[in-house]
Amino acid sequence: MTAQASKPVPPTFALFPHAYDKPHNNPATFITTDSPCSCCRQCRGWLYDGVFFGPDACDGWRICPWCIADGNADRAGISFNQIDPNDRSQTLDEEIAHVERRTPAFFTWQDLYWPTCCQRACVFFGTFSGASIRGEVEQAIRRQLDRDCDGDADLAAHWMWLLKARDTNDPAAYLFKCSACDGMHARWDVS
């Protein structure tokens, strides 16, 4: 009797520690498959199933988590996230490179800028909607809505009501945490 080959353990991502979890009502960031990676051509059992930016020659590519983590995808000209241009000058270059080129993106309806704090890229904490919005999650989202709505309390209250009223992740809030000061930061999105 021969032993069946097991799937290798995929790399972890410091800025997206739950990259292999399937969020409630959202597509997974990685899928399990026997197909080969377009970058390294190896079949390792996992492929990235999100958006990326790169040369036209990479359209339709399926990339394994190892090529994201070790920089092979970056060497092919592929990036996954963006730091807000207004935050770039206050963020360490290695942090920008890490979030843009070696961290997989998570599912959103629109492209979002990855937040920074204390000169560092924040860690993605999760997607929230409906009843999951409470406590410090709710406080972080309220602060972001106040900024995004330019102090219009009625508009901010309306968006908070929408985020809490539906448990569908449309609309959804995305929570991040600063690894230096533990400050919570939010982004929100709607289809």
* Domain count along the chain: 1
60 domain residue, yes or no: yes
Mention every residue, 6+ apart, whose C-beta is less than 8 A from residue 127: 23, 24, 26, 106, 107, 169, 172, 173, 174, 175
6 domain residue, yes or no: no
User: HSE-up of 153 (CA within 13 Å, CB side)?
Assistant: 0
2 domain residue, yes or no: no
Residue 1 has pLDDT above 50, yes or no: no
pLDDT for res 23: 63
The per-residue pLDDT for range 29-83, each reduced to its tens digit, is 898 999 999 999 999 999 998 889 998 878 889 999 999 999 999 999 999 999 9
Rounded Cα gap, residues 179 and 191, in angstroms: 30
23 domain residue, yes or no: no
Rounded Cα gap, residues 125 and 39, in angstroms: 28
92 domain residue, yes or no: yes
One-letter amino acid identity for 142? R
The per-residue pLDDT for range 129-182, each reduced to its tens digit, is 777 777 777 787 777 777 777 777 887 777 777 777 666 656 777 889 998 998
8 domain residue, yes or no: no
Tell me the residue range of the domain where 178 lies.
Answer: 30-189
39 domain residue, yes or no: yes
5 domain residue, yes or no: no
